[in-house]
Chain A
Amino acid sequence: MIEKDYSLSPRVDKMGIDDRVARIKARSIKKEAKVQGLKMILNMIDLTTLEGADTDGKVRQMCYKAIHPHDSLPDLPTTAAVCVYPTFVKTAVKAVKGSGVKVASVATAFPSGHSSRKIKLMDTKIAVDNGADEVDMVISRGRFHSGDYNFIFDEIAAIKEACGKARLKVILETGELGTYDKVRRASDIAMDAGADFIKTSTGKISPAATLPVTLVMLEAIKDHYYATGRMVGMKPAGGISNSKLALQYLVMVKETLGGKWLTNEWFRFGASSLANDVLMQLEKQASGNYQAKEYFSID
């Protein structure tokens, strides 16, 4: 077998990506399409807390919110998952038990990824042993910039193996990659190495997720699907705090990958404040009026 040369990954033209994004942003999502879209968004959120100051109490409160986003509105879905540090996985698993909400844990020396393979594997194993359904790993961006693509591939493959049944999301940290060409390259490596999801950002670096970068990754997912028949999920994370923008992401998924990807099995939003904006919009659609943000819980 000839080893794949990732420096030959398809090229991306920024002007063209921007043009396509402009078309997607011009879509007008109204009425029942909006309500349906907002509920889908809520159901695709990985409600996240990744602070140095996190505690068991904070995590439990967030888990309750994930299950009960806004009880005064009937027929609301839960969020897709909660996303925490490995040390809080046990707490989260207990808190969401029986609700259908998944527990995702960041791992592999999140967010910088600067640590040894041994520690990263152990980090992953702790998360999985404690019951995480999903692992959000970071790639070693330094090695990636050095052109050490085999290292990146092997690391992802090793973590994937350590995940066992847990689904693996691979964070590319696109804000540190510099060009869309490199985003495409990193996406290809991650998918070939076994990623179940590719994810834009840790949320610790600006810019985090953007529409153009997500489009580049969705096109990569499409090419991977055609080449292998394997579906890979997408998770833009960070920087998506309002419903209008989130709806534009859904349009992008619909027009790039089709309806099959429009479930939380294949698309996620990594966000914390997005949920309340979605709830505010849903409340508006139901009652006709906007309510003050004090009416929406902030867990």
Chain B
Amino acid sequence: MAKKKDIAIDYSSDWNFAPAPESTAHIKLKKKYDLFIDGKFVKPKSGKYFETINPATEEKLADVAEANKADVDAAVKAARKAYDNEWSKLSGKERGKYIYRIARLIQEKAREFAVIESLDGGKPIRESRDIDIPLAAAHFFYYAGWADKLEYAFPNRKPQSLGVAGQITPWNFPMLMAAWKIAPALAAGNTVVLKPAETTPLTALKLAEIIQEAGLPDGVVNIVTGYGETGSHIVNHKDVDKIAFTGSTGVGKIIMKAIAGTNKKSTMELGGKAANIIFEDAPIDQAVEGIINGIFFNQGHVCCAGSRLYIQESVYDIVMRKLKDRMQALVVGDPMDKNTDIGAINSKKQLKVIEDYIKIGKKEGATVYQPKCAMPKKGYWVPPTLFTDVAQSNRISQEEIFGPVLAIQTFRTVSEVLAKANNTPFGLSAGVWTDKGSKIFNMTTKLNAGIVWANTFNKFDPASPFGGYKESGHGREGGLHGLEPYLKFDA
């Protein structure tokens, strides 16, 4: 028998997965995408186009129109006209029918959406196929059901639509975030001008095709592509009644300054630095799986990622051993391979951000761990990364990295971990792992986070509201709460 300290499990094997690439043959991407305004694809008045690339290969996928002020004007005008003349006059039941139709069409074309999402954004096909796209459809189904029941959702408050909603979505869940924003806006009776992120515009443009196919009245949904400047034209447009933004805290602050003093309502879903807390009485093997899902889901490009791990000191060694063992089984590489667990980093820019933080962590004296994994030569990649010997005062445990990088600390008592978990400007999500029910309830009432998961992590459902406190933003998306920001009330 081996000596105890020499015991290790060898995860290499003579039996290895053969490549299992998802076919891309059925995907018909256009060479050039125009703006979707007033029910039609129209050339941008700016005359400008930008490239969107596949981050796994650095190859160009398509040229996409860049909307300038005049283009955004046209989109808002179309949305206003559609609101005044058609959408606000339709009954909730009729609006619901259109939303159901969108939901069904997404389901019908789910495979196409999933492949495009993974090509454009670098996320593993397993995630886009099993999570992003089915959840996007589920959001449309969910809010379709509310469209004719607003009076019941908000009894005696006379809910009324706002008008034109300006929506800006991020690059980490392009299709899902479009669904989170468009579905409640339409259900509540508003029309929409949406700007997808510049690195991942293709699924939103595919959604525009579906909206055409669903026969929505022209102008009810408009999709304008572009960079931050395009977004600022939406934010500053006088005829926009509401801004819904998901993205970085920095940009969120700029938007809030810009709309201060106007009548625009807002929801901000911003950054996070979630504490994932493992108590000694936790189901350890499943907690390890929760750590993996918490930080490596979507390459860590998740605002609610469990990026700060707190392990009770008495189980620190065993959790670390199990975590490192589990990481040996993670497959990093081609997002189109069905066995890939961790795909490509979304953009060159984000790659730089993550690499810089890894350098910062090392400089701060933290110990870095990365399993050996062969990375493709082209494209943007970061191996799953752990930092131990981390303190609360390290930048890697304070700032949002938005990559597959986990900062690990230990704790000793409940009060200590609560204080540390809440010791952050963010407040989006948190996770608690314990077999003891009373401890869960104690923690969930005291953690300052919009979402707290118990014995699981990164679970989403259309019926469950999502949103944060403090620098993680305000307002909720999902559930009944997600309708409220798209309505005004008499009482």
- Closest B residue by C-beta to A34: B18
Q: Is the CB of B15 within 8 A of A16?
A: no
Q: Does residue A277 face the partner (Cβ distance < 8 Å to B)?
A: no
> Is B10 touching A260 in the complex (CB atoms < 8 A)?
yes
> Of A21-29, A164-172, A232-240, which binds chain B?
A21-29
* Interface residue from B2, B13, B18 paired with A259 (Cβ < 8 Å): B13
Q: In the complex, A48→B290 CA distance in Å? A: 38
Residues of A near B455 (CB, < 8 A) are 13, 15-16
Interface size for chain B: under 10, 10 to 19, 20 to 34, or 35 or more residues?
Answer: 35 or more
Q: How far is the CA of A250 from the CA of B293 in the complex (A)?
A: 22
Query: Which chain B residues border A37 with CB–CB below 8 Å?
Result: 15
Q: Is A225 an interface residue (CB 8 A)?
A: yes
In the assembly, what is the distance between CA of A228 and CA of B2, in Å? 8
Contact of A27 among B11, B293, B339 (CB under 8 A): B339
User: Is the Cβ of A20 less than 8 Å from the Cβ of B289?
Assistant: yes
In the assembly, what is the distance between CA of A34 and CA of B2, in Å?
33
The answer to whether A262 and B15 touch (CB under 8 A), given A28-B338, A226-B321, is yes
Option from B7, B16, B293, B338 in Cβ contact (under 8 Å) with A226: B7
In the assembled complex, which residues on chain A have CB atoms less than 8 Å from the CB atom of B293?
Answer: 19
A118 at the interface (CB under 8 A from B): no
CB-contact partner of B284 in A10, A31, A228, A255, under 8 A: A10
Q: Is A145 an interface residue (CB 8 A)?
A: no
Among B1-24, those with CB < 8 Å from A are 1-4, 7, 9-20
CA distance A11 to B278 in the complex (A): 13
A3-42, CB under 8 A of B: which get 1 and which 0?
Answer: 0000000111101110110000011111111101100100
- Is A57 an interface residue, CB under 8 A from the partner? no
What residues of A have a CB within 8 angstroms of the CB of B290 in the complex? Answer: 16
Tally chain A residues at the interface, Cβ within 8 Å: 37
Closest A residue, CB atoms, query B436:
A11
Please give, as numbers and ranges, the residues of chain A lying within 8 Å of B17 by CB-CB distance.
27-29, 33
- If the complex has contacts A229-B3, A259-B14, are A15 and B321 also in contact, measured as CB distance less than 8 A? no
Shortest CB-to-CB span from A191 to chain B, Å, is 14
Taking the nearest CB of chain B, how far is it from the CB of A125, in angstroms?
28
* The residue from B9, B14, B19 contacting A257, defined by CB atoms under 8 A apart: B9
Confirm or deny: A244 has a beta carbon within 8 angstroms of a beta carbon on chain B: no
Nearest to B456 among chain A residues (CB) is A15
A285 to chain B, nearest CB (A): 12
List residues of chain A with CB within 8 A of the CB of B339: 27-28
Please measure, in the bound complex, the distance between the C-alpha atom of A32 and the C-alpha atom of B9, giving whole angstroms. 25
Q: Quote the shortest CB–CB distance from A226 to chain B (angstroms).
A: 6
Q: Provided the pairs A16-B285, A219-B285 are in contact, do residues A258 and B15 lie with their beta carbons within 8 angstroms? A: no
Further 17 A-B residue pairs, CB within 8 A, beyond A20-B286, A258-B328, A259-B15:
A11-B435, A13-B283, A13-B286, A16-B289, A20-B289, A27-B338, A28-B17, A28-B338, A30-B19, A225-B7, A225-B9, A226-B321, A254-B15, A257-B9, A258-B10, A258-B11, A262-B14
| A-B contacts, 28 listed (Cβ < 8 Å) | A11-B281, A11-B282, A12-B285, A12-B286, A13-B435, A15-B456, A16-B283, A16-B285, A16-B456, A26-B126, A26-B130, A27-B339, A30-B18, A30-B20, A33-B16, A36-B15, A37-B15, A40-B15, A222-B325, A228-B1, A229-B4, A229-B7, A230-B1, A254-B13, A255-B11, A257-B9, A259-B13, A259-B15
Where the two chains meet, the residues of A that have a C-beta atom closer than 8 Å to any C-beta of B are 10-13, 15-17, 19-20, 26-34, 36-37, 40, 219, 222, 225-230, 250, 254-255, 257-260, 262
